Amino acid sequence: MERIAIAQPSWDNEMRDAALATLDSLRWVKGEQGHLFGKEFAQMCGAVNATPCQSGSVALWAALRLLGIGPGDEVIVPSLTYIATTTCVSLVGATPIFVDVEPDFWCIDLEQVKKVYNEHTKAVIGVHLFGQMYDPELIEWCKTQGVALIEDAAQAHGASLVVDGVQRGAGACGDIGIFSFFPSKNMAVGGEGGMLTTTLESISNRMQAFVNHGRDVTLESFEVGSNLRMSEVSAAIGRIQLKRLERWVERRCEIAGRYSASLCNVRGFSIPAVRKHSNHAWHQYCVLAEQPLQLKQHLDHNGIDARIYYSTPCHRQKVFEGHPQYESSLKWTDELGPKLVAIPVHHQLRDEEVEYIIEKIIEFSTMVD
């Protein structure tokens, strides 16, 4: 059996044809593909509008700028996340305030958010970690407090959550949402790429202009933006991938279900919980392992890619050495990060590969029993 990758981007003839047709059109930027990709993506998640951009990290920076956040402001962020979620705050001159996550669902803990909230708090960045949607009560709390909610959905393409009795897709559960189309994500664009979404009419037109130097249709700049545009070729590929997304996420859910059913009673492991009334997108399937390094080594030895997420929390990374929270303890972030082992869950896995992964994890549990 060939080595089983932790992630594998999809590529087929329809995507290739779309890319070549776009190149042949000689309209490589600011054309129909980007416009339609944004429109179709907004429809998929239920947002008012969506705008393609260069990356998920760029989208985070743009979201903060669109909300007018800068020096003197504080933005509450979870520390158990990818570093871009937090460094974007520093890039606009604001201060990230790190909080712990829920012990069961691993997303930002609303009770911890409430504890650090003050008059300087201008926004919360909630992360749908590994494809798990955050607590819907966070949405209502931010609205009540008048605090902007930025939805980091970089790992949540195709996820959804019931909010006030209505099913809402990732990208429509905050004031501004962001997605990444990095090749390891649930959908990609043939390279780097990102998406901004919004549920606010007041942000909609500004968002589209912001990625094009803040210019309006007369080509006059009315606010400081930059060139954050996605290429037409990437947008054309993204549109094809978007058509496949629902089926791909269904396959991820099927694989995750098989893992959970097979591993739920295996000693030395805990399987991930899924929030009620939500659809997990399973960007990653992480087991909570008592011996994470040994498990990773065992899987590696048997030709299976695995990774530990996130062994060093954001607030303890060197980039934040001067931050007041650099040596602070966040109970669940500190405990979970070094023990979360991601195993392959991408939609292109074959059934025999899924069974092989299960077999090798169970084998490991008997070896260390």
Quick: pLDDT tens for 189-243. Answer: 999 999 999 999 999 989 999 999 888 777 788 888 899 999 999 999 999 999 9
CATH fold of 13-99+107-240 reads Aspartate Aminotransferase; domain 2 (3.40.640)
Q: What is the pLDDT of residue 112?
A: 98
Query: Which of these CATH numbers, 3.30.565.10, 3.40.50.150, 3.90.870.10, 3.90.1150.10, describes 245-367?
Result: 3.90.1150.10
Q: What is the pLDDT of residue 214?
A: 87
Query: Would the pTM count as exceeding 0.85?
Result: yes
Which residue matches tokens 């949540």?
156
pLDDT in tens, 4-52: 999 999 999 999 999 999 999 999 999 999 999 999 999 999 999 999 9
Q: What is the pLDDT of residue 369?
A: 60
Domain ranges of the chain: 13-99+107-240, 245-367
Question: Which residues of the chain are under the pLDDT cut of 70?
Answer: 369
Residue 297's alpha-carbon distances to 26, 197, 245, 301, 358, in angstroms, are 48, 39, 32, 6, 15
Backbone angles phi, psi at 10, to 5 degrees: -95, 145
**Of 104, 90, 138, the residue nearest 318 (C-alpha):** 90
13-99+107-240 and 245-367, same CATH topology: no
Q: What is the pLDDT of residue 148?
A: 98
Which residue matches tokens 């990095």?
182
Q: What is the pLDDT of residue 368?
A: 74
